[in-house]
Structure 1
Amino acid sequence: MVTIFNIEPLPPKIRKIFKENGSIVKVSKGSHLCLEGAPVKDIIYVVSGKVILSKENVSGKELTLRICGSNDCIGEGIIFSKTGYYPFSAKALENSNIITIDKNLFEMCLSQEPDMLIECIKWLQLQNLKTQTKLRDLLLYGKKGALYSTIIRLTNTYGILQDNGDIVIDYPVTNSNLANHCATSREVINRMLNDLKKSNVLSFEKSIITVHNLNFLKDECECENCPLSVCRID
């Protein structure tokens, strides 16, 4: 069994800024690191654990934007931005260790090191590409495309290839979680997952999904075979 893909999300030079200038904080499962609409103070680096980024509308409906894991950054979209408010909420999915650094200090460190600034720009471009592909799948291919592409991204991020060719997504995900990723209801996700199970495209047990036919999912949502560094859930 092998992990399909493993990426260090944040360039080493950027991680160095956090480690040399930030403060280490332990965060318990369920705790909020920041709230949508709150004044911006810190940029956050995830040392270990998992953190979910999401947005909510006035009725409480949630849209999951990303799942950040180790060596990932939270708040890159507000770097050198004048908005002054967090555009999302961040909540720990498990006990996590993070490093926080004041936004102004982070920007100053980047400004003083042109090489680091270039690395940051490259990384921001990658994050923008991820967002664009997610929006494409959600808007052009409807709920089915959103679900199928989300499962593909989960396999690229957490997938473990089995000897028989199956891919086990080594990350527990409920139907409600998937619904939040796809901006739809849990009932719609239940129906589509059961259809996929009947067709032997995938199976699931105790929130762990095993994909038996990844090519079917790719064909159905007209997968453009984006680089694996782009087609991820984080």
Structure 2
Amino acid sequence: MAQQRPDISQATWEDAQLLWDYHQMHHEIRPCSVIIGLGSHDLGVATTSAQLYRQGFAPLVVFSGANSPTTSGRFPRGEAVHYREHAMMLGVPSSAILLEPRATNTAENLSLSREVLAAAEVPVSSVLLVSKPYEQRRSFATARKIWPDVEIVCASEPMSLSEYANKIGTKTVVDMLVGTLQRLVEYPKRGFIISQEVPATAVSAYERLRACGFDSRVIPS
């Protein structure tokens, strides 16, 4: 049974755990042509990308991301720039990092990173795609839509839901789990991502959480 938190009910926590598990792809990490770290508010993406590089899973890292309303204060010079600086502090040489500083969404992260790699004449057959833990599945679905001819292996900072909630706040995390599930359902209809099978249990958990007010990340219908 999922661990109960004092700030939400046991049933709500179990619904959140169900979505957390679904959003992760549970891929086996293996060597790839390049690591791409997707820009966000979470510096753990840069930390994980640096660790994977130092463990020899790819010879090159691309950090992609400009700014959003939630990151401009935290990363004033842009997500990719701050990610690069953090990775270098963790031992990744500057020569092993390429920057893509313009992307403002996941589709642009992928398409613009592909352009950066092409300009650098880097052959790419596989991508180790590093995202926030709850964004693995949506990042995968976006990558398969934008860049269908490469193998995608998903990774993120190894954290439990409880650890991540302690890191950024329970309400924020559950709101994001709900918003991401909605996008997995709605975005294929808009041509943004490939379709993913969404189990009925995940849909039911999403509906219960949304009805409980975890809806700040929901897009208008």
Under TM normalisation by the shorter chain, which class is it?
Answer: under 0.3
Return the structure number with greater strand share: 1
Structure 1 length-normalised TM: 0.25
Structure of greater Rg: 1
